[in-house]
Amino acid sequence: MERKSNNNKIENLVVESLESTTGHGIPNLVRSKSWPIKIFWFICLSLSIGFCVYNLTISIVDYFSFIAVTKISFERLDAIEFPTVTFCNKNPFLVRIPNSQNNMEENLRNKSKEFFDSLLKLNSSESSFESFSRLSYNYSYITLQFQKYLSKVSFSIDDMLLSCRFNNFKCTKNDFKIMFVAGLGNCYKFNLATKTGIEKTTIPGQKNGLMLELFSGYLNETYDLIRSSGMQLFIHNSSTIPFAEFDAINLPTGYETDIWISKQRVSKLPSPYSDCIQNIFSLDSFDSYLYEKCVNLFDRYQQKTCLLLCYHEYVKQQCGCYSPDAFNITFIQACENTNSTAIGCESVLAVNVFYNDISLNVIKEFSAKTFEQLVAEIGGFLGLCMGISLLSVVEIFELIFKIILFKSNYKDNGDHNKVLSY
């Protein structure tokens, strides 16, 4: 009887708390003496709780789906950083004047005669295109093996740069930095991050960009290993490495080419919102052999670099040779046009790189639902459907505290008739 009486007192304590709770519907359900009214409030309370649980489930699922939204904005700037511009001659060997005395052939033969003999030896089972593909691959390999020597017989900045203007001011060879590229020889970069900083431009238009006039060299049958004469141009950030396979802009001789550019800044969220990594310079950012190799080789991760390494690793594992992408293609017929043209048109080109507008397009990713938004939605639905706030949750802890306190007093004092009043 004492235990039953004690349980009844606890039950009364719970009922008293429910009758005074700030949550909507619950006090009406507990206080009502009429069963029809109780049933009515029970149905209303059940529907409200169901609607609340449904919406809370959607909010929680959306939060843990890590959905990102993209914001595109347009910013007008007073000045904008000019990109790094790199140009390479399609013909890596310098032949100054047709039929002139040039010792390049003799020097190169002395350095690599044995290698060239095996390289140029035709295989009777190969088509002409297969032989040329093999030659092209091994030619790039030679440039790596003899980089120090070939850089001396490649075009220098003095040979190629005829005129240069940037921001309507004259620029010189001292504004360029050399870079050696396999298959292309000496390349030259303009606007690297130096002590003076990155060059900027404040006015759009051709005259306020980079204007180059370049000499590509004279055509020579002895070293005709290229499909066409001209230059390859790369426009990129100073911190990135250009690749001919992806980024090259081909410039033909005899023409002036205008290239207008715009700048775009893309900011993506890292994992778990995407597969992006935050620190592209760290070896620990991603567990991958190709990723580590990319960072070790170039001091940073670039997706294009990684894809290129993956491709060559696969080809090397499969056949240990060059890529046979273009095999079995019929070799095109030789050009029969032998009309002579002015030597200047065959060897000189001009290019203008400039901004069409001094502005910046910003593409930035944001989390579709932050933790703060999730908490706000939980509070909103609980308040809308049941009138529950953060302080309403405190009432639950208050009830638990009262029950613990009652049991503690009951045990210590043995007062079975103590009135519950807290």
Chain centroid, CA 59 distance in Å = 30
Look at residue 263 in the predicted model and tell me its pLDDT: 92
pLDDT beyond 80 at 169: yes
Residues 6+ apart with CB under 8 A from 297: 305, 309
User: Residue 220: pLDDT band by 50, 70, 90 thresholds?
Assistant: low
- Whether 159 and 181 map to the same domain: the answer is yes
Mean pLDDT, rounded, for 147-152: 60
Taking only the tens place, the pLDDT of each residue in 290-300 is 888 888 877 77
Looking at per-residue pLDDT, the higher value among 124 and 235 belongs to 235
Q: What was the pLDDT predicted at 103?
A: 54
**Is 285 found in the same domain as 232?**
yes
Going by C-alpha positions, the residue among 298, 290, 331, 422 that lies closest to residue 131 is 331
- pLDDT 10s digits, 245-271: 778 899 999 999 999 999 999 888 888
Q: 79 near 202, Cβ under 8 Å? A: yes
The residue type found at 325 is: D
Find all residues with CB under 8 Å of 375, minimum gap 6, and list them.
none
Domain-located, residue 282: yes
pLDDT at 3: 58
How far apart CA 198 and CA 82 sit, in angstroms, is 7
Whether residue 415 has pLDDT greater than 80: no
Mean pLDDT of 13-26: 76
Q: Please say if the pLDDT value at position 6 is more than 70.
A: no
Residue 251 sits in the same domain as residue 158? yes
H/E stretch holding 363 reads strand 348-367
Number of other CB atoms surrounding residue 181 within 10 Å: 21
Regarding whether 140 and 83 lie in a shared domain, the answer is yes
Is 279 found in the same domain as 221?
yes
- C-alpha count within 13 angstroms, C-beta hemisphere, residue 248: 16
Q: Are residues 308 and 376 in the same domain?
A: no
In a domain, 144, yes or no: yes
Q: Do residue 37 and residue 148 come from a single domain?
A: no
Is residue 113 over pLDDT 60? no
Provide the number of structural domains found in the chain.
Answer: 2
- The answer to whether residue 351 is domain-embedded is yes
Place of tokens 């001011």: 169
| Domain presence at residue 421 | no
- Residue 53 lies in domain: 2-66+371-413
246 lies in the same domain as 282: yes
Per-residue pLDDT, 34 = 86
| φ, ψ (nearest 5 deg) of residue 88 | -130, 145
Q: Which residues contact 421 (CB under 8 A, 6 or more apart)?
A: none
Q: What is the mean pLDDT of residues 136-156?
A: 61
pLDDT at 417 over 60: no
Do 209 and 201 form a contact (C-beta atoms < 8 A)?
yes
Residues 377 and 355 in one domain: no
pLDDT digits (tens, 9 = 90+) for 41-97: 889 989 999 999 999 999 999 999 999 999 999 999 999 999 999 999 988 776 554
CA torsion, ordered 190, 196, 202, 207, to nearest 10 deg: -40
Give the whole-angstrom CA distance, residue 22 versus residue 169. Answer: 76
Same domain, 401 and 272: no
Q: Both 44 and 108 in a single domain?
A: no
Q: Is the pLDDT of residue 310 over 50?
A: yes
| Residue 397 belongs to a domain | yes
> For all residues of the chain together, what is the average pLDDT?
77
For residues 83 and 12, membership in a common domain is answered with: no
In a domain, 419, yes or no: no
CATH number, residue 308 = 2.60.470.10
Q: What is the Cα–Cα distance from 82 to 363, expressed in whole angstroms? A: 19
Q: By three-state DSSP, how is residue 345 classified? A: helix
422 in any annotated domain? no
Asked, for residue 420, whether it belongs to a domain, the answer is: no
